[in-house]
Chain A
Amino acid sequence: MQLATAAMLLVATTVAACGGGEDDGGKASAPKAPATIPELTKDPLTLSFIWFDWPPAHALEDFANAEYKKERPNATIKVNTVPNANWHDAMFTQFAARKTDFDIAILDSQHIGEAVTNGNILDLTDFVKNNIDVNAYNPYLLAAYGQFPQAETGKRDENASLYGLPLLGDTWTMIYRKDLIGDKPPQTWDQMISAAEKCQADNPGVSGLAFHQANGSDAAAVTYNTVNGVYGGNLWDAKTRKIDGVLNDAAGQEAMDVLVNKMKPLTAKGSGNWFIDEVNAAVAQGKACIAFNWIAASGGLLDPKQSTLGTSREQILDKLGFATLPSQKTNLVPLGGMGMHVSAYSPTANQAEALNFMKWFQRADVQKKWAAAGGVPSRTDALQSPEFINAGPFNQVYADSVPRMRDMWNVPEYARLVDIENTNVNAALNGAKDPKTALNDIAKEQQGVLDSSGRKGGGGL
């Protein structure tokens, strides 16, 4: 594995160094997509995506092959999947080699900055103007999944460039045991902690809470960001690019204290490396009173084959409730989900097909069908449609959460910023670091990354 890593690094550097382009100095330099869709090929063509391995990826492949083929019989959709922890590397090592085996990269909103400044994805601004009704979307969602740089308000700036279109919206839902804590979900974060505490005390063997704490990906970081938002904290001051002094202010400290000293003791022993699957497993096995998870990953909870809570969907739903996150000082919820972005290194015919697919996928009728197939749409009409609301018990939660969403820093340095936050929050949650020290370390190290971006040599440690 070490050899493989070294080989990947060396090959990537060699190829990239030999084929380097202009020094952009970190400015946006993405090549432009044509404003109108070029003539499509009639030859058989495979349109490849890259995503991480989770149920929506398989749902997308099935849905697209069933529906898109009706219009383009010569096109086959293939969604290549990698483990979540490898997702960023799988895309960006190929970008570094200036050659991709995918045509459409499904990027997290925070990845857009890195891809745009390196010229890895197409600038879709002109294409969107000519082909997409931007007013059909919630402006925050359209901006989050496509715009760079993101506006300070989070809302779409009509003059800013767009590099992607929404594929799957997402946020956290609170999953609660109706049979253990009652039908009415807690309304505030404090109430939620109290309810979890009581439930844990009343039900030996069942932990009060289950949430993401893992060291990999953005697991622990999103958890802290969520609590930070609920307790009125900020991740940074985007205008001055200040993190130190903002993230670790009084609100930030309170959020870390709540997370580590009030919430963590209510979790199962050894849950310090839990992410999406482990939280779902705990809920399905009846081991948690209240849990938090991404909506798009919650479908499996209703599968009787995977659950000990009932032998039918109805029986499971008698015990499980889904609600929007409780509020406290604010009502913010984390923005998840991803957009579709066209690889700058994809062949011209595939780029044309990708643009055609994106235009097709954003149609109102297709978005409703996608919602019915298990997708989470971003068009307002699809979000409010019965097809979506009735497709899952958590879909109403998503529709209600959209106006409450907050994203992380969408900057090219995201990968390093999130790693710093993730490792430190994970350390605090697992007793490897004092919570206050962990928060101060995050602020200091992240500030260092922002301040040193563009500095020559010795960076990145």
Chain B
Amino acid sequence: MSDPVPLTTDQPGQVASATPPAPGRSRRLSDRGLAVAFISPALLLLLAMSVFPLLWALYLSFTDYSATRGGPAHFVGFGNYTAILTSAQVHQRALTTLIYVVGAVGLQTVLGFGIAYLISRRTHGRGALTTLFLVPMMLSPVVVGLFWRFMLDAQFGVVNSMLGSLGLGQVEWLTRQRTALVSLIVVDTWQWTPFIMLIALAGLTAVPKYLYEAASIDRASEWFKFRTITLPLVWPLLLIAVLFRAIEAFRLFDLVYILTSGGPGVSTETLSFHVYKVAFLGFNTGTASAYGILMVLVVIVLTQLYLRYLNKLKED
């Protein structure tokens, strides 16, 4: 006579292991499967479109490969990197890029924060004003470039026409060494100040009101409130906006291409524009790859240093 089957058990685990799982019972496994199914297409796409080309570019950067010439790529070691790092042309473009990044991002930060601060103090029409200020950011940089190219034309442009009507002389905005870089900074500032403004506005509206109320009770001045409450609380957010803008500005290509073609001469030729020339005018793919890799490295290193500073700020 066999033992009777117990109706209940003190060790349900044993029973579970003894009986086959019912369909859909292993929920964890099923979730993982689902996750893999959903993520893998995007992951594969990322690998194919981003990681593989990056690794391939890294490989090419050590070769003399040319995309148009075809044929096998010959290993040249660090030859391309040495040539780039010791090139006076690259140093000149780096300096141009640095002036541009510091000038444009600095101006955008001051203006963006200033506009955000003024908007945040308004109670009526804040939404409409914010939307209006955001319009330039929504436009394609190529459209912005073409638009400003007409505006800044020395002969037929509306800017010089306005200066003329004020009795001021004509300015060669895009064809003089000093004004060309300033023009690029101004146009970039026109387009991207709203980005800083938007982030700053988010920060400003997030500052707890009770802090201002407490300061008011203590009869603190507006400047005191700004210096001790507003700025310290918005500063970390603003620095993140500066980081994004600086990375974007470092890669500036489109505005240069449309507005000045790097001119006069090469005085507004940024690193990105120079890489484009190396890559497509001579099809020196190996050199261009090394150039691109170095630019990525510079951005990564500077970003890491910046993020460390941000973290320190957060801890303080």
A→B interface (CB under 8 Å): 1-2, 5-7, 9-14, 16-17, 19-24, 26, 85, 88-89, 92-93, 95-96, 98, 114, 117-120, 214-216, 268-273, 281-282, 287, 413, 415-416, 419, 423-424, 426-433, 438, 449, 456-461
Contact = CB atoms under 8 A, between A and B. Distances in A.
A458 B263 contact: no
Given A270-B155, A423-B262, A457-B64, A20 B285 contact: no
B277 A117 contact: no
Given A12-B67, A432-B177, A458-B79, A6 B292 contact: yes
Contact of B174 (A273, A281, A282, A457): A273
Interface stretch (B34-42, B80-88, B185-193): B80-88
Contacts of B288: 9, 460
A96 B67 contact: yes
B69 interface: yes
B281 A415 contact: yes
A270 B172 contact: yes
A457 B177 contact: no
A1 B284 contact: no
Contacts of B52: 14
B235 interface: no
Contacts of B278: 460-461
A223 to B, nearest CB: 14
Given A20-B70, A20-B71, A270 B83 contact: no
Given A96-B68, A426-B265, 12 more contacts: A1-B141, A2-B252, A17-B73, A19-B70, A22-B71, A281-B156, A423-B266, A432-B264, A457-B83, A458-B79, A458-B287, A461-B87
A426 B70 contact: no
Interface in B227-271: 251-254, 257, 260-267, 269
Contacts of B80: 457-458
A105 B60 CA distance: 29
Given A24-B69, A96-B283, A271-B155, A2 B253 contact: yes
A21 B287 contact: no
A457 B170 contact: no
Interface string B268-308: 01001001111111111111110010000000000000000
22 contacts: A2-B254, A6-B292, A10-B57, A13-B53, A16-B68, A24-B69, A24-B71, A85-B261, A92-B68, A96-B283, A118-B68, A118-B70, A215-B264, A268-B155, A270-B172, A413-B282, A430-B176, A432-B265, A449-B282, A457-B63, A457-B83, A461-B84
Interface in B145-197: 153-156, 160, 170, 172-177
B154 A9 contact: no
A270 B154 contact: yes
A419 B71 contact: no
A44 to B, nearest CB: 32
A228 B281 CA distance: 24
A2 B63 CA distance: 23
A455 to B, nearest CB: 8
Interface residues of B, number: 73
A324 B129 CA distance: 59
B175 A13 contact: no
Contact of A426 (B263, B279, B282): B263
A363 B244 CA distance: 60
Contact of B253 (A1, A92, A118, A432): A1
B84 to A, nearest CB: 7
A93 B280 contact: yes
A165 B47 CA distance: 45
A416 B89 CA distance: 14
A95 to B, nearest CB: 6
Most buried by A among B54, B172, B279: B279
Contact of B90 (A11, A16, A92, A461): A461
Contact of A416 (B77, B177, B282): B282
User: Which A-B residue pairs are the 6 nearest by beta carbons?
Assistant: A270-B154, A427-B265, A460-B284, A458-B83, A457-B76, A457-B79
A272 B83 contact: no
Given A20-B71, A461-B83, A2 B251 contact: yes
Contacts of A415: 281-282
Interface string B18-59: 000000000000000000000000000000010011101100
